[in-house]
Amino acid sequence: MSEPIRVLMVSGEYPPQFGGVGDYTARLCAALRPEAVRVALLTGGATRVLEHCAKVGNPIWVARGVPRWGVGTYRAVLGAAQRLGADVVHVQYQAGAYQLQAAANLLPLWMRLRAPWLRAAVTFHDLRPPYLFPKAGPLRPAMVRLMADMAHGVVCTEPADLAALGTRPGRRWIPLASNIDCAPPPDFEPQAWRRARGLPVDAPLVGFFGFLNASKGVETLLRALAQLPEARLALLGAEAGPSDATDRREAQRLRALAASLGLEGRVWRSGSLPAAELSAALLACDVIALPFVDGASGRRGSLLAALTHGRAVVTTHGPQAGVVTEGQDALLVPPGDSTALADALRNVLQSSELRARLEQGARRLAARFTWPAIARAHEEWYAELARAPRR
C-alpha cells in the first residue's frame, strides 16, 4: 500500500473562528481519508484551534499559529511543511480571510523560488482581490491571476471562476457542500423553538443566514420585509466575520436602515449559534431569503445550507447559469428589486403547494453535493499534483 500524500493546509480562518472558508476547510480535512492523505493545518489562533479540535475529536495536527498574514508567514509555511514532510501546500484563498493582505497571493511564487520541491495548490473560494494600497487599480486583480498562474494546481468552487482563470493541467472545479448538517437537537419542534425565543408561532417567519456584508443584499431584504407587514425576519448566525471590518460597518448601517423603516420589532437576530442550534433555526423558518447582489451560485455556503435543510428558498438571478433551477429548486428574482423579492416571498408564504414543491426540489438538489464526494475529488487531485514532475 502506498504512503499517504502529505498536505499542509493553509487557511486564514478555522473553527472556532467564524467564517465559511474556515468551516469548509474543517469539513474537508475531516472528510479526507487518512490512508490517502495525511493533513496538517497552518492557521491563526492555533491554541484555540487546538482546543476546538480536541473538543470535537478532530485528530488534525495544527502547526503554530499565524498572528498576521504578512511576508513573515512564508517562513512559518516552510517550517510547517518541512516538519510534516509535505508534498503539497494547499492554500484556501479568500482575500478577507487573510486580512486583505497580498502575502497569500504571492505565496505560490515564493514557493517556486525558495521551495521548488513543494507543490503549491490553491482553492479559490472567489476571485476578489486583496487591498494592496490606495489607487492600486488593475494591480489588484492581477495579484489573483498571478497566484493562480504560479500555483501548480487550482480548484475553483464555481465553474465561472475556473472559466475566468482559464483551463490548464492541474485546474478543476470541485463544488461545495453545506457546512451545516441537517441535525437539530433531538427534542426540536418548530413552534416550541419559536416560542422559546419570543417569536410568534402564527406569523410567517422569513430566514436569512450569513454575514451581513454588502454582497448579501440584506438592504433589499429589509425593504421587502417592509412590504410584508405580517412577516417577521430572523437573521441567523454572526453578523460579521472576525477578519473583515467592512462586515461590522455594514451591520451597523443595516441596523439604522431597519430602524428607519420601522422594522426593529420585526427583526430577530440570533447571533452566533452552535451547529445544532443553527440547524434548528433554519428548520424553524417558513422560507429562506438570500438576495445576493451577484446572484445565486454554488460558492454560497448559506444557499447550500438552506438546500440541505430542505427549505423553500427565494434568491436572485446571476450573470452565469446558477446552481438552482427557477421554480424547481428555488424562486429567482432580480438582484436589488425589493418589490419582486416581496412578491416572491408572499407567493411562497401563501401557497403550501409551492412551498412543498420547492422544499422537495431543495432536498433533491442538495443530494448532489456531499462531503465524501468532495474529499475523493481532492484526493485524486493531490495525487495528480504529487506525481507531476518537479521543475
- Structure-model confidence comparison of residues 57 and 121, the more confident one: 121
Distance CA 238, CA 321 (A): 29
Q: What is the pLDDT of residue 20?
A: 82
Average pLDDT over residues 54-79: 73
pLDDT band at 115 (very low <50, low <70, confident <90, very high): very high
Distance CA 31, CA 370 (A): 10
Q: What is the pLDDT of residue 70?
A: 86
Distance CA 78, CA 72 (A): 11
Domains within the chain, CATH numbers bracketed: 5-177+370-387 (3.40.50.2000), 190-366 (3.40.50.2000)
**Mean predicted lDDT score pLDDT of the chain:** 90
Instruction: Please give the model's pTM, rounded to 2 decimal places.
Output: 0.76
Q: What is the pLDDT of residue 321?
A: 53
pLDDT band at 387 (very low <50, low <70, confident <90, very high): confident
Contact 295, 322 (CB under 8 A): yes
Q: What is the pLDDT of residue 268?
A: 96
Average pLDDT over residues 136-165: 93
Polymer length in residues for the chain = 391
Q: What is the pLDDT of residue 324?
A: 85
Contact 287, 347 (CB under 8 A): no
Share of the chain above pLDDT 70, in %: 91
pLDDT band at 142 (very low <50, low <70, confident <90, very high): very high
Contact 314, 290 (CB under 8 A): yes
- Structure-model confidence comparison of residues 1 and 373, the more confident one: 373
pLDDT band at 239 (very low <50, low <70, confident <90, very high): confident
Dihedral (CA of 118, 121, 127, 128) sign: negative
Q: In the 3-class helix/strand/coil scheme, how is the chain assigned residue by residue?
A: CCCCEEEEEEECCCCCCCCHHHHHHHHHHHHCCCCCEEEEEECCCHHHHHHHHHHHCCCCEECCCCCCCCCCHHHHHHHHHHHHCCCEEEEEECHHHHCCCCHHHHHHHHHHHHCCCCEEEEEECCCCCCCCCCCCCCHHHHHHHHHHHHCCEEEECCHHHHHHHCCCCCEEECCCCCCCCCCCCCCCCHHHHHHHCCCCCCCCEEEEECCCCHHHCHHHHHHHHCCCCCCEEEEEECCCCCCCHHHHHHHHHHHHHHHHCCCHHHEEECECCCHHHHHHHHHHCCEEEECCCCCCCCCCHHHHHHHHCCCCEEEECCCCCCCCCECCCEEEECCCCHHHHHHHHHHHHHCHHHHHHHHHHHHHHHCCCCHHHHHHHHHHHHHHHHHCCCC
pLDDT band at 159 (very low <50, low <70, confident <90, very high): confident
For the purposes of burial, counting CB atoms within 10 Å of the CB of 52, is it exposed (0-12), middle (13-18) or buried (19 or more)?
A: middle
Q: What is the pLDDT of residue 47?
A: 57
Q: What is the pLDDT of residue 4?
A: 94
The answer to whether residue 56 scores a pLDDT higher than 70 is no
- Structure-model confidence comparison of residues 123 and 21, the more confident one: 123
Distance CA 363, CA 16 (A): 28
- Structure confidence by residue, pLDDT tens digits, 328-340: 999 999 999 999 9
Q: What is the pLDDT of residue 6?
A: 95
Distance CA 31, CA 50 (A): 18
> Which positions ≥6 away from 97 have C-beta within 8 Å?
11, 12, 13, 19, 21, 22, 243
Share of the chain above pLDDT 90, in %: 67
Q: In what order do the strands lie in the sheet with 119-124?
A: 61-62, 37-42, 5-11, 88-93, 119-124, 153-156, 171-173
Identify the top-confidence range among 67-76, 93-102, 199-208. Answer: 199-208
Least-confidence region, from 1-5, 62-66, 321-325: 62-66
- Structure confidence by residue, pLDDT tens digits, 211-227: 898 899 999 999 999 99
The answer to whether residue 51 scores a pLDDT higher than 70 is no
Q: What is the pLDDT of residue 33?
A: 95
